[in-house]
Amino acid sequence: MKTGLIVYVVGTEPVDWDATSELTAIKQHRQVDMVEIITIKSGHFDVLDAWWSLLTRGMKRIVCIIGEFTPNGNLTLKERQLFLCG
């Protein structure tokens, strides 16, 4: 079963933050097939938009977690998970 992950980021991303390398690292660490990150500049407007994007690309299990930037600019992922269905 393909698994997708939505990371809802609170706060503003640092100027030098690279979303592409962050996506790769999250995919490897969390062992998911696809990742969507929601930030102010990511292109996704909300969780529903990212959920629909993953659902239409074949993800059967979709998990949503919160991410937060630390003062030094690293993205940390919280442990609490919300499982979405559809």
Please give the share of the chain, as a percent, with pLDDT higher than 90.
Answer: 52
Task: For residue 48, tell me if it sits in a domain.
Answer: no
Q: What is the pLDDT of residue 70?
A: 87
Number of domains making up the chain: 1
Judge whether 51 lies within some domain.
no
**55 located within any domain:** no
Domain that includes residue 21, residue range: 6-42+62-84
Residue 54 lies in a domain: no
What does residue 45 show for φ and ψ, rounded to 5 degrees? -90, -35
Mean pLDDT across 55-60:
95
Strands 82-84 and 61-69, sheet pairing: antiparallel
Burial class of residue 41 in the structure, from the number of CB atoms within 10 Å of its CB (0-12 exposed, 13-18 middle, 19+ buried): exposed
Q: Would you say residue 50 lies in a domain?
A: no
Exposure class string for 43-59: b at 16+ Cβ within 10 A, else e: ebeebeebbebbeeeeb
pLDDT score at 72: 85
Question: Is residue 68 one of the residues assigned to a domain?
Answer: yes
- Please state whether the predicted TM-score (pTM) of the whole model is above 0.85: yes
Whether 37 maps to a domain, the answer reads: yes
